Chains A and B, each alone.
Chain A
Amino acid sequence: MSIDWAALGQVFGISLAVTVAMVGVFTLGIVGSSRKAAPEQGGTAAAMPGGAVGASPLARTGAYACFAVCAAVVAYGIYLIVA
């Protein structure tokens, strides 16, 4: 009996890397498009995409870039399912 350890290892490695990368990039997008938690509560709770108050233009641009990367990966995922 031959267990395909190589394939299993590949699945593990790729899954770990892609999951962490995707979640990380998406979180950066969320962090970039929302403002720091201010000590005073209240204000606009609308975090994304348009109503980000307090996020600098640079951070917001970076955040959109992060979301674009995520969208591209999702598109690739759909491609994998269809193909």
Chain B
Amino acid sequence: MEHITLLIGIVIVTALVFDFTNGFHDTANAMATTISTGALGPRVAVAMSAVLNLVGAFLSVEVAKTISGGIIDEGSGIQPEVIFAGLVGAILWNLVTWLAGLPSSSSHALFGGLIGATVVSVGLDGVNGDAIVMKVLIPAVAAPIVAGIATLAATRLTYRLGRDRSPEDTAKGYRAGQIASAALVSLAHGTNDAQKTMGVITLALVTGGVVAPDSDPPLWVIVSAGLAIALGTYLGGWRIIRTMGKGITDIQPPQGFAAQTGAATVILASSHIGFALSTTQVCSGAVMGAGVGRKGAVVRWSTAGRMVVAWVLTLPAAGLVAGAAALLADQGNAGITAVAVLAVLACGAIWMLSRRKPVDHTNVNEVGIQEPVGAVTAALRSVAPPPAGAASAAPEDGTSDDTPEQTPTPIPAVASSTTR
């Protein structure tokens, strides 16, 4: 690796940063409900997920040959600048959604970034519209529905079968089962998402002529990508974990087990059949399904609505940022430097904002914050008012849940009071 130019080096570093954000963005998928049901302590949970992500990165023999799965035409002179700009867009969107505590698909952010950068640099011809619909739009709609219905049915069934058992007796068993399901989700995540970064780095190396086309990624690429995603996972996106584990609905051990099993099943089934569904959307859908499936549970549709808005925005938002970055980066070395500096500044600003109200392993299970109500959610709420009568969800709560129950009192719909 002696001939790595500065630009290729920057692309590699950026790809690893993206991998890192991918890791801490997606910790919630495997571990949010595991933490909120008390199956695992917060730190143990993220550590286990990190190890499994690392293992997963080494497991798969199938290397991501294309980074975008045919969405952009990678043969038509895609330059390292384009990859760089796309990654910057994806990273920034990942950080913004993390700040807002919203689970959104890291893959979609990466796709959006690459699409935006390609459109600016190469033109619309470089983007395959059919592939966008097939690989992004339809899975995005299908994933939460499939996972939600499967989990809903499973939750109903498990409560029905275990109806003459006391929650104290069964909680331990459910938690054990949930840990197994969460482990599967983590492992699958490591295999899929670390591969993506390896693909990006390998593509950058190929375009720089460092490695031969169609070659497997060098070992150091596999190791660094695995470590980046594991480190990100270990640090944990606590904001997103809180939203998924507590914000959408209050998860009890049977629900957590059903949701995590549903998520693992859908992820494995879909990737095995070849209709890959986004992990994030599968897990969010499963949590919602588990919430609907238990009698007396309250699903906070306002939170769910904000999540859906984030999903819809992911592709265009990451694309816009990446497009702007590509515009700058095309101006030569000065432009690339400017993009890098601006990206670092933006990341720093988001980090500073997050410190104002930090969420970490100590307060991840506390939900009592008044959520700012945006115009969209206010509208959504007026269409579908939450079942306010079922506020006292499950009084005989067997879990050690000493956090104050957030009653879904109708917060006055002051349009987008940003109290963060």
Contact = CB atoms under 8 A, between A and B. Distances in A.
A22 B265 contact: yes
B130 interface: yes
A37 B257 CA distance: 21
B178 to A, nearest CB: 10
A3 B132 CA distance: 12
A52 B272 CA distance: 38
A26 to B, nearest CB: 5
Contact of A11 (B180, B184, B191, B275): B275
A58 B243 CA distance: 43
B162 interface: yes
B158 A19 contact: no
B345 interface: no
A65 B56 CA distance: 29
B270 interface: yes
Contacts of B158: 23-24, 26-27
B165 A36 contact: yes
Contacts of A48: 172-173, 176
Contacts of B168: 45, 47
Interface string B231-259: 00000000000000000000000100110
Interface residues of A, number: 39
Contacts of B165: 30-31, 34, 36-37
A45 to B, nearest CB: 5
B157 A23 contact: yes
B120 interface: no
B187 A78 contact: yes
A28 interface: yes
A19 B161 contact: no
A36 B257 CA distance: 21
B272 A34 contact: no
A11 B162 contact: no
Given A23-B257, A27-B157, A33 B173 contact: yes
B130 A1 contact: yes
Given A7-B273, A11-B273, A28 B151 contact: no
Given A8-B275, A35-B169, A81-B56, A14 B269 contact: yes
B166 interface: yes
A3 B161 contact: no
Contacts of B138: 3, 8
Interface stretch (B27-35, B43-51, B142-150, B377-385): B142-150
B172 A16 contact: no
Which 6 residue pairs are nearest across A and B when measured between Cβ atoms? A23-B154, A37-B166, A19-B150, A30-B173, A7-B275, A47-B169
23 contacts: A8-B142, A12-B142, A15-B147, A15-B265, A18-B269, A19-B153, A19-B262, A20-B153, A20-B154, A23-B155, A23-B258, A27-B158, A27-B161, A28-B161, A30-B165, A30-B174, A34-B169, A48-B172, A48-B176, A70-B180, A78-B187, A80-B272, A81-B191
Interface of A: 1, 3-4, 7-8, 10-12, 14-16, 18-20, 22-24, 26-31, 33-37, 45-48, 70, 74, 77-78, 80-82
Given A1-B133, A15-B266, 12 more contacts: A4-B134, A7-B273, A8-B275, A12-B146, A19-B154, A19-B262, A20-B157, A30-B173, A30-B174, A34-B173, A80-B268, A81-B59
Interface of B: 56, 59-60, 130, 133-134, 138, 142, 146-147, 149-151, 153-155, 157-158, 161-162, 164-166, 168-174, 176-177, 180, 184, 187-188, 191, 254, 257-258, 261-262, 264-266, 268-275, 277
